[in-house]
Structure 1
Amino acid sequence: MKAIKNFFSNYRQSWVLLYVFIYFPWFFWLEKHVTVGTQFTNIHIAFDDLIPFNEYFIIPYLFWFIFVAGSVTYFLLKRPKKEFYRMTAFLFIGMTVCLAICTLFPNGQTMRPPVNPEKNLFSKLIVMLYKTDTSTNVFPSIHVFASLGINLAWWNSPVSQKHKWIRPVTTLITISICLSTVFLKQHSVLDGLGAIVLAIVLYFFVYQPEMTRASARAAKEKTKSKKLYSYKNKL
């Protein structure tokens, strides 16, 4: 108990993680009430049918959980509070919007192919995924949105400027996760596009203001340096 108390005392910003007590009950309520047996809008376009099913994409799809949880934990423990708050604000606002859309606009998809679990380990994992995760509540894709949010957090953190490998690695992971959603027939391309649009909108609310302020400070410092340099030359 003392260790837990010390943790919350040292990382007071962790209070925002209480959001899980809003997200999970809401998510599981949707999973229970918006099912294949209920009425929902089928999210599908012709291009979806051109994308082949590929069981190997289960690897990046499941890696999403490590990518998100690991990144949030790192920003909580190692990065300034400001960076952690920006990351979680982006994620939690966006995820709330996704759940609200699914509540007001019940949706799903019917693209899942029959999968033989005896084929290989990857196929077995997909069968398990299909059993535990319904094919409803898919628009916008939370998998895609959260991946983009995590990637943006890394890109906008000074740590990625210090360690140049971070940006290409997190971007590659994000792209592979986004692709996995359509190659596993978990989502339509429309679900991914919806998530991208949502991420762009939130970016301008969460990250752009800080970038604008940083640019203004840099310009002010540059002007100040020029004036100082000019003054010294006059002397």
Structure 2
Amino acid sequence: MKIIKKYKHFLPVVVYGIFYLKCFQYLETHITKGYHLIHTPFDDMIPFCEFFVIPYFMWFGFIAWSVLYFGLCNKNRREYYQLIINLGIGMTAFLVISYLYPNGQNLRPTVFPRENIFTDLVRGLYLTDTPTNVFPSIHVYNSVAVAVAVEHSEQLKNRPVFRNVCLGLTVLIVFSTMFLKQHSVSDVCCALVMNAGTCMLLYRPAKAGNALRTREKKAKYRM
């Protein structure tokens, strides 16, 4: 019972994770035709590059690390809830959009320009991940949400190298979605705009509150 009480803040993540996977599985199996193709002229300007499969797969560990770090190691529980709420908003919006606006893409190359271990990984990715339900990009949305959480973390504010590494990985993940032809520029832009909105909602009020408390402490000290 003590363990359950200690880690009860992970319960929403577990429950929502099951819900999300069930909904995503439904979308993947039911939206197979008659969907809107997402495409922009910019997509044709971006070359296929199989090497981006590495940061693309690193995304899974990046997201898992962020939830575990903020839930276990970060002393500020508010920052943990800011992160999981941000992730939850984006992922729920993705499910709703995919259901109401069935979408997909046909950007993937039919023949790879090269054959190597990286193209083998991409080939495996294509076999397991359908080209449907791509708008907005969850890879992009969640990565940016984590980068924002790291940037706003009080515990990590004195670790600029670590924060820059997280930011760099986020940028690589964002690029990977387009260079692997997993997502259109539209998917990426939508995810970025959505995240900008949720970050203003979740982080600006907290930042303003922290600034107010800091001013109050300084005022008391002067008195």
TM-score in same-fold range (> 0.5): yes
Q: Mapping of 1:64-213 within 5 angstroms?
A: 64-79=59-74, 80-116=76-112, 119-213=115-209
The corresponding residue for 2:28 is: 31
Which residue identity is paired with 2:20?
Answer: Y
Cα pair 1:30 1:103 within 8 Å, conserved: yes
Does 2:16 correspond to 1:19? yes
Letter in 1 for 2:174: C
Contact 1:26–1:99 (CA under 8 A) maintained in structure 2: yes
How far, CA to CA, are the matches of 1:6 and 1:135 in structure 2?
A: 44
Q: Which amino acid aligns with 1:88?
A: I
| Shift in Å, 1:22 | 1.0
Q: Which runs of 5+ in 1 are unaligned?
A: 229-235
Alpha-carbon separation, structure 1, partners of 2:103 and 2:93:
14
| Structure 2 unaligned regions, length at least 5 | none
After superposition, the C-alpha distances for 1:12-37 in whole angstroms (9 at most, x for unaligned) are 211111111110000111111112xx
Per the TM alignment, residue 6 of structure 1 is displaced from its structure 2 partner at its CA by 4.3
CA deviation vs aligned residue, 1:71-102 (integer Å, no higher than 9, x gap):
11111111132221111011011110111111
Stretch deviating more after TM superposition (10-19 or 124-133): 10-19
CA distance in 2, matches of 1:118, 1:202: 40
Partner in structure 1 of residue 56 of structure 2: 61
**In the TM superposition, what is the alpha-carbon distance from 1:118 to its structure 2 partner?**
8.3
Which residue of the partner structure matches residue 48 of structure 1? 43
Deviation at 1:177, TM superposition (A): 0.0
Superimposed CA distance per residue, residues 136-158 of structure 1 (whole angstroms, 9 cap, x where no aligned partner): 10111000000001111111111
Deviation, 1:116, is 4.8
Partner in structure 1 of residue 5 of structure 2: 9
Q: Give secondary structure in 1 for the equivalent of 2:183.
A: coil
Cα separation, 2, equivalents of 1:192 and 1:7: 39
Matches within 5 A, 1:217-232: 217-226=213-222, 228=223
Displacement after TM superposition at 1:206 (Å): 1.3
Runs of 4+ that moved beyond 3 A: 115-118, 222-226
TM, length-normalised to structure 2: 0.94
Matched pairs, number: 221
Cα contact 1:31–1:137 (8 A) shared by 2: yes
Asked if the contact 1:116–1:124 (Cα under 8 Å) also holds between the matched residues in 2, the reply is: no
- Aligned equivalents of 1:180, 1:215: Cα separation in 2: 37
Structure ID, larger Rg: 1
- Asked if the contact 1:58–1:180 (Cα under 8 Å) also holds between the matched residues in 2, the reply is yes
Give, in whole Å, the separation in 1 of the partners of 2:59 and 2:81.
Answer: 21
Which stretch shifts more, 151-160 or 56-65?
151-160
Residues 39-64 of structure 1 deviation map (CA, whole Å, 9 limit, x = unaligned): 11111110110000000000000000
> Residue 65 and residue 189 in structure 1: after superposition, are their counterparts in 2 closer, same or farther (change >3 A)?
same
Task: Give, in whole Å, the separation in 1 of the partners of 2:219 and 2:80.
Answer: 31
